[in-house]
Amino acid sequence: MLRVTLIITLLFSLPPLLAQPPQLSGKNQLSLHGGFDFQGPNGDKIDLEVGYGWFLRDDLMVGGEYQWSLLEDIAPGEDDYRAQQASVVVEKLLIGESQLVPYAGLEIGFRNSNFEDLDESGLVYGGRVGARYFLTESVSIDGSLSWLLAEKEVFIVDFEADDEYLYPSIGISAVF
């Protein structure tokens, strides 16, 4: 895990050192998003998401994401909720002249969840809205709100299995 953290840190450290033109078409994007809540009513929560995308045009990105979720101490005993999700993502940037760029996106993927008797896998799909604030021409801080639906109850919401999930995310993205 330390090796992965060091590699990701290195990848995010290099792009600001390289001169990048403002055009995004043909460029790649690497992103790291997450959410932590160690005082939540449902227990300690960690969500990590890593993504890679390619800009077809300056305002259209297609990519893939992998999300890992852990929710500890949500019930008496030793059981924790764990989930993995792999998705294909399409995002449309609403490019303007400012450093703040709003976007909207769609995703479809597959999620596997494990908690006590719950061992479900299924198709997930949904949308997201967000904004990127470009610190440089190649590095941005990203915040989004996603709403996902699933064919099965693969999410844990308020101690219950559910087939829909609304979650905020914050992260950093690098274009190279």
Question: Which pLDDT belongs to residue 75?
Answer: 59
How many Å apart are CA 125 and CA 73, to the nearest integer?
Answer: 28
Question: Which pLDDT belongs to residue 41?
Answer: 56
Question: Which pLDDT belongs to residue 153?
Answer: 87
Question: Which pLDDT belongs to residue 115?
Answer: 75
Question: Which pLDDT belongs to residue 67?
Answer: 94
Question: Which pLDDT belongs to residue 9?
Answer: 53
Question: Which pLDDT belongs to residue 117?
Answer: 74
Q: Which domain holds residue 83?
A: 2-175
**DSSP letters along the chain, please?**
-HHHHHHHHHHHHSGGGS---S--TT-EEEEEEEEEESS-TT-EEEEEEEEEEEEEETTEEEEEEEEEEEEESSSSSS--EEEEEEEEEEEEE---SSSEEEEEEEEEEEEEEEETTEEEEEEEEEEEEEEEEESSSSEEEEEEEEEEEESS--EEETTEEESEEEEEEEEEEEE-
Return the structure tokens found at 14.
């290099």
Question: Which pLDDT belongs to residue 162?
Answer: 85
Count of structural domains within the chain: 1
pLDDT value at 18 more than 70: no
- Read off the pLDDT of residues 46-97 as tens digits, 9 standing for 90 and up: 889 999 999 998 889 999 999 998 877 655 566 677 899 999 999 999 876 7
CATH of the domain at 146: 2.40.160.20
- Read off the pLDDT of residues 122-158 as tens digits, 9 standing for 90 and up: 999 999 999 999 998 889 999 999 999 999 988 877 6
Rounded to an integer, the average pLDDT of 15-27 is 51
Question: Which pLDDT belongs to residue 16?
Answer: 42
Question: Which pLDDT belongs to residue 106?
Answer: 97
